[in-house]
Amino acid sequence: MPQEERTIVKSASAAEEPNREDRGRDERYNPHQIEEKWFKRWQQDSSLYAAEPHSSKPKYYVLEMLPYPSGALHMGHVRNYAIGDALARYMWMNGYNVLHPMGWDSFGLPAENAAISAKVPPREWTLRNIANMKAQMKRLGFGYDWSREITTCLPDYYKWNQWFFLKLYRRGLAYRKKSKVNWCPKCATVLANEQVVGGCCWRHEDTPVEQRELEQWFLRITNYADELLRDLDRLPGWPEKVRIMQRNWIGRSEGTLVDFRLDGPSGEKISVFTTRVDTILGATSVQLAPQHTITEKLAAADPELRKKVDQLIAEQAKAKETGDIGNIEKHGVNTGHFAINPYNGEKVPVWVANYILMDYGTGAIMSVPAHDERDFEFAKKYGIEIRQVIEPSVARAPSPAKEVSDKSVRPTQSGEMPFTTLAFAEQKGFGKATVTFRLKDWGISRQRYWGTPIPMVYCDEDGVVPVAEKDLPVILPENVEITLTGGSPLVQVPEFLNTTCPKCGGLARRETDTMDTFVDSSWYFYRYTDAHNERAPFDSKIAGYWFGEKGIDQYIGGVEHAILHLIYSRFWTKFMRDLGLIKNSEPVERLFTQGMVIKGGAKMSKSLGNVVAPDEMIARFGADAARMYSLFAAPPDRDLDWQESGIEGIQRFLSRLYRFVAKNAHPNDAAWNKSIPTELSPEARAIQRKLHQTIKRVTDDFQGRWHFNTCIAATMELVNELYSSEIVGERASSPAIPLSLLADVQRNLVLLLAPFAPFLAHELWEMLGGKSSLLKAPWPKYDPELAKEEEIEIPVQVNGKLRGKIVIAPGVGEEEIKQRALADEKFQSYIAGKQIVKVIFTGKLVSIVVR
């Protein structure tokens, strides 16, 4: 690592103190030297972070989301992995058998883009990036079990994607359908609806998505829609925020499908979905999405209408583009045709409107202006009749009752009608109760090279035929030219394309589409448990051990994956359960979503020029400081504003700690390992008390709230106390404290910091004479007796205002405390001559109320 050596030299010279004898070189904290030393040692022992296959210890599976190997880690990764690593180390120290793996989500478009721009084959580019990022992770000291590393773009992994696909196909959960798909002209590929951001490609945010019709493979995630929804209630370890987002994404809605008919010789059906079939007599128009098939037909015969519809489509696209579809200025056009209300035979006008979305429900609605605000707004704008048919009318709309026309049906109470109207519809056969979901089937076909080949074959004789399991994997060919033109590059590879039919042995074509990379990440965490299995994706027993009944103990990642990745993973888990591979129904018991790393209030981005590179931070401050700062600057669930001066502060703290231990470690002294005397001087006792209070605070904040920032702050306080103490700090000429206590304080302090700054902690542990490995040294315990204060300050309020404090010994009774407060001279000016209404003591504070 020549680059790092250079920085070591640089930083050493920057802090150089030529020929100063008063401070030995040993006392200066040199993170690069320390980190290099431990880096080398840890390199030599691959079993260090390995999970035990058979263990009497309780298991703990801690997982961070695997990265896409884009080339280098960014600060968001560092933060994510610093959180996970701190937790893994904490659990190791608490005696758990910890599984803490890492891998690479290594299929995907950027590799193809790199192939085009840099002329590097995707595989080579990807593997090079992986090597670089893996080195960065090791340099940062993250404790992963690399023997379980998975790389999704390699055949030993993607073979099982194909295997799963065949299972899905056999169960009818994978199917082909022709459908309009989102087409990104830049990627020259199809995007899932979920991958469209504001009408634009999620990767090319300024490229509007076009619509094309293609034959696609879909996975029937909707078969699991109800279960995916229901089980959200069984995930108390997930942030409420994420559960709500998923609930909204699934979007279950109970209502009625009603068939209107187009008035005219064709009498075509117009199905509408409504949750308020009880208002159907108030329907005064039917509204179609601009892309509706009936819209298309009517427009085909009417050039004027065609023009207007095209404009509506353009408006809708524009609104989607700006992400403002929810706020679209409503426009519509009257087709001049009518639809027949099946309930009363009434003819109502058929409109086409820009706010009706083709991809929700049936793409058509009945418009009931008196009982729906949006319909009301539209009707007012275009002068469509508003007819109230039930009580009450639309909430908050300005009294539409006034505009009820002569044709009003007598209003009934809301809720009276749905049952009878629905029953009537079902009896007459023009409507039925329906549950719709917003969730759509998962389109996984990609017209890309760098992905898992879909293991299907097209034969002129036998049609669509699955590849035989024994012939897996279908290997992705190498040396493929990537072009930007549409269609999959695999079409251009005859050796791949041309094959034989598994059924008849005749000539056949392979499927040239590859799979969405969300397939890879939907089940990767099971593979970690048994990463080298060649006969199955994983062994059920082994996965069963690590997943238990509830899944991964703790999953940590960015909130941006709250919906897609996490809902696909949940679906895949349920599917694998139904296959009999696993017992758990959910993949993740506890989920943690960390905040973003920002700089100057803005997301880090190349265009803003505010990107902070981890390598640079490591070079300047060391890995420990970089990791620790990312935990200190904010609680982990909040956004973190990266401040250079902040990480300098952390480095200062680590230096302070290092110097203290360098000066106060005396492991060869006979008194060092003796037991701590029970009788201590008040000064020594104060240090001991602070230590035990610190252990309590760090443990509580780590365990309960994950507020690593306050954990670290607590250890800072302890170090400050040590420095300012009269008996050990700089002020003390020689330590006037029992060496055994001095040893105890330092050892515990180092243990408390081990999850956050592993390099320095190991170095100091060694300096303190630690023999066993720090990694699995037991987490410190505090003694509540030793943590107890000897005197307690009780604040005293008079009429709600703080007026001073009294000092009491622990154990003094409530009455005495009240009396002491009332009698105290300090408060006489506030209470003398006034009537004391009451005195409150709550255990923390005395409150005197006077009149």
Partner RNA sequence: GCCGGGAUGGCGGAAUUGGCAGACGCGCUGGACUUAGGAUCCAGUGCCGUAAAAGGCGUGCAGGUUCAAGUCCUGUUCCCGGCACCA
Minimum distance of RNA from residue 768's CB (angstroms):
19
Listed in sequence order, the residues at least 6 apart from 143 whose beta carbon sits closer than 8 Å to its beta carbon are 48, 49, 85, 88, 89, 92, 100, 758, 775
Minimum distance of RNA from residue 462's CB (angstroms):
39
CB 516 within 8 A of CB 446: yes
The smaller minimum CB distance to RNA, of residues 116 and 837, is found at: 837
Window 445-474: residues binding RNA (CB under 7 A): none
Query: Rule CB under 7 A: is residue 800 a binding residue for RNA?
Result: yes
Minimum distance of RNA from residue 253's CB (angstroms):
4
| Strand pairing class (640-641; 189-191) | unpaired
The binder of RNA chosen from 25, 402, 606, 844 (CB under 7 A): 844
Name the β-bridge partners of 391. Answer: 413
Minimum distance of RNA from residue 644's CB (angstroms):
8
The binder of RNA chosen from 633, 691, 741, 754 (CB under 7 A): 633
**40-45 contact pairs (CB < 8 A, 24+):** 42/138, 42/141, 43/138
The binder of RNA chosen from 268, 539, 615, 641 (CB under 7 A): 641
State the Cα–Cα distance between residues 710 and 754, nearest whole angstrom: 15
Minimum distance of RNA from residue 741's CB (angstroms):
19
Window 804-833: residues binding RNA (CB under 7 A): 805
Query: Rule CB under 7 A: is residue 583 a binding residue for RNA?
Result: no
Window 177-196: residues binding RNA (CB under 7 A): 193
x/- binding map, residues 391-430, to RNA, per CB under 7 A? ----------------------------------------
Task: Find the part of the chain contacting RNA (CB under 7 A) among 226-234, 410-418, 777-785, 799-807.
Answer: 799-807
Window 360-389: residues binding RNA (CB under 7 A): 360-361, 363, 365, 368, 372, 374
3-state SS, residue 805: strand
The smaller minimum CB distance to RNA, of residues 302 and 700, is found at: 700
Query: Rule CB under 7 A: is residue 842 a binding residue for RNA?
Result: yes
CB 279 within 8 A of CB 301: no
C-alpha dihedral sign at 750, 752, 754, 756: negative
Window 85-124: residues binding RNA (CB under 7 A): none
The binder of RNA chosen from 197, 214, 612, 822 (CB under 7 A): 197
The binder of RNA chosen from 274, 284, 445, 688 (CB under 7 A): 274
Burial class of residue 494, CB neighbours in 10 A (0-12, 13-18, 19+):
exposed
Minimum distance of RNA from residue 641's CB (angstroms):
5
CB 298 within 8 A of CB 312: no
Can you tell me which residue has the tokens 């959910």?
A: 586
Can you tell me which residue has the tokens 């883009």?
A: 113
Listed in sequence order, the residues at least 6 apart from 196 whose beta carbon sits closer than 8 Å to its beta carbon are 182, 202, 209, 320
The smaller minimum CB distance to RNA, of residues 275 and 499, is found at: 275
Contacts with RNA by CB under 7 A: the residue count is 90
Give exposure, 815-848, as e/b (b: 16+ Cβ within 10 Å). Answer: eebbebbeebeebeebbeeeeeeebebeeeebbb
The smaller minimum CB distance to RNA, of residues 411 and 646, is found at: 646
x/- binding map, residues 673-692, to RNA, per CB under 7 A? --------------------
State the Cα–Cα distance between residues 226 and 552, nearest whole angstrom: 23
The smaller minimum CB distance to RNA, of residues 487 and 804, is found at: 804
x/- binding map, residues 524-563, to RNA, per CB under 7 A? -----------------------------------xx--x
The binder of RNA chosen from 89, 574, 697, 747 (CB under 7 A): 697
95, 319, 713, 722 from 701: Cα distances, Å: 19, 46, 11, 22
Task: Find the part of the chain contacting RNA (CB under 7 A) among 86-94, 116-124, 386-394, 789-797.
Answer: 789-797
Query: Rule CB under 7 A: is residue 229 a binding residue for RNA?
Result: no
Q: Which helix (H) or strand (E) holds 542?
A: helix 540-547
DSSP structure string for 730-796: TT-SS--S-HHHHHHHHHHHHHHHTTT-HHHHHHHHHHTT--S-GGGSPPP---HHHHS-SSEEEEE
The smaller minimum CB distance to RNA, of residues 645 and 668, is found at: 645
Can you tell me which residue has the tokens 């690399």?
A: 146
Query: Rule CB under 7 A: is residue 730 a binding residue for RNA?
Result: yes
CB 624 within 8 A of CB 757: yes
State the Cα–Cα distance between residues 69 and 52, nearest whole angstrom: 28
x/- binding map, residues 317-356, to RNA, per CB under 7 A? ------x-xxxx-x-----------------------xxx
Minimum distance of RNA from residue 180's CB (angstroms):
15
Window 233-262: residues binding RNA (CB under 7 A): 240-241, 244-245, 248-249, 251, 253, 255
Query: Rule CB under 7 A: is residue 640 a binding residue for RNA?
Result: yes
SS3 content of the chain, % helix, strand, coil (to 5): 45, 20, 40
CB 702 within 8 A of CB 711: yes
Query: Rule CB under 7 A: is residue 132 a binding residue for RNA?
Result: no
Task: Find the part of the chain contacting RNA (CB under 7 A) among 60-68, 97-105, 570-578, 722-730.
Answer: 722-730
The smaller minimum CB distance to RNA, of residues 145 and 278, is found at: 278
Query: Rule CB under 7 A: is residue 292 a binding residue for RNA?
Result: no
The binder of RNA chosen from 686, 713, 786, 812 (CB under 7 A): 713
Minimum distance of RNA from residue 661's CB (angstroms):
13
DSSP structure string for 661-704: HHHH--TTSGGGGSPPPSS--HHHHHHHHHHHHHHHHHHHIIII
Minimum distance of RNA from residue 634's CB (angstroms):
4
Query: Rule CB under 7 A: is residue 494 a binding residue for RNA?
Result: no
The residue among 488, 517, 481, 451 whose CA lies nearest residue 121 is: 481
CB 122 within 8 A of CB 111: yes
The residue among 61, 253, 45 whose CA lies nearest residue 138 is: 45
The residue among 130, 44, 140, 40 whose CA lies nearest residue 89 is: 140
The binder of RNA chosen from 648, 683, 744, 824 (CB under 7 A): 648
